[in-house]
Amino acid sequence: MAGVSRSAGDGREPSSSYSALPAVSRTQQVREQLEAAIERGDYKPGERLPSERDLVELLGVSRVSVREAIRSLEAVGMVEVRHGLGCFVAANPSDKYASSFSHWLAVHRDEVLELLKVRGALDELAAESAAVSADGSWTARLRELNDSFRATPPTDIDALVERDVGFHDALGEASGSPLLADLLRELHETFNESRHATLQPSGRPAESAREHDAIIDAIERRDPAAARAAVAAHLASVRDSLTTLLETAQKEDEE
């Protein structure tokens, strides 16, 4: 994959080393190109990255994908967003990159909790619809994805996030509504950073896998009410994890 080079974001001409990205995992692809450029030293600590508009044009992706990629790098302290000025490489990116995602959750607390409510309503609708209309091939697919999630080492957070998103994307597709599936896909992409945080505590991935099982079982029984309830229970558990992390982050900031 071609890396990101200096561009119009700092007054110079965009480089031809940018490459258009595939439709799948656009946010992750944008993040990887930016991350690789920073690690190579294409952008020094304190230097400005290309503007959001430049990246949209150079990489052939949406503003949402670019914005979420920047937010994910900001979450781990690799970049700093200065409102009205742009996005800059952090002064000590290697040190900040190793920091906890809990600080990002604390900064974006209200937004995350509000989006979680929206996601919950749509996920419940998807599960209910899947229980009514999905055929056996979808339950088999959901079990396959959840088995893959369950088998992932708990220390491999990136893979856990990818497989958790894959499961919930498939749940949206099982609803039979392309519009609902697209809306959930966008929301799940937005929640990548919170997933990195909530899947880190010991035992949380295994708990999520069991909650996924309950959703699949209800769909397989063709019980719409039980499918909604299983999703609601799963997301209530996720909210509890988020609340615990946010409280921890607040205490750390106070100290």
Cα separations in angstroms, 211 against 114, 190, 217, 232: 22, 21, 10, 10
| Percent of the chain scoring above 90 in pLDDT | 39
- Other beta carbons less than 10 A from residue 252's beta carbon: 12
- Other beta carbons less than 10 A from residue 118's beta carbon: 13
Give pLDDT tens digits for 156-209. 888 899 999 999 999 999 999 999 999 998 888 777 777 877 887 778 899 999
Residue 231 in tokens:
């999703």
The pLDDT score that the predictor gives to residue 98 is 37
Spatial neighbors of 147 by CB under 8 A, at least 6 apart, are none
Give pLDDT tens digits for 56-96. 998 989 988 899 889 888 876 788 888 888 999 887 544 44
Superfamily designation of domain 102-254: GntR ligand-binding domain-like (1.20.120.530)
Q: Is the pTM of the predicted complex or chain greater than 0.75?
A: no
- 101 pLDDT band, cuts 50/70/90, is low
Give pLDDT tens digits for 15-28. 555 666 544 568 88
| Residue range(s) in the chain whose domain bears CATH number 1.10.10.10 | 8-97
CATH topology of domain 8-97: Arc Repressor Mutant, subunit A (1.10.10)
Distance, CA of 54 to CA of 179 (rounded, Å): 29
The pLDDT score that the predictor gives to residue 110 is 76
| Residue whose tokens read 């959840």 | 146
The pLDDT score that the predictor gives to residue 97 is 40
- Under DSSP, the state recorded for 10 is G
Q: Are the C-beta atoms of residues 229 and 218 closer than 8 Å to each other? A: yes
Q: Which one of 26-30, 94-98, 225-229 scores highest in mean pLDDT?
A: 225-229
Q: State the distance between the two ends of the chain, measured CA to CA, in whole angstroms.
A: 43
Distance, CA of 135 to CA of 215 (rounded, Å): 15
Distance, CA of 92 to CA of 27 (rounded, Å): 24
Q: Which of 91, 95, 97, 56 is nearest to 75 (CA)?
A: 97
| Residue range(s) in the chain whose domain bears CATH number 1.20.120.530 | 102-254
Question: Where are any strands of DSSP class E within the chain?
Answer: 79-82, 86-89
Burial status of residue 107 (CB atoms within 10 A of its CB: 0-12, 13-18, 19 or more): middle
Q: Where are the alpha helices (DSSP H) in 41-108?
A: 52-59, 63-75, 93-97, 102-107
| Residue whose tokens read 């900031």 | 253
The pLDDT score that the predictor gives to residue 225 is 97
pLDDT at 7 over 60: no
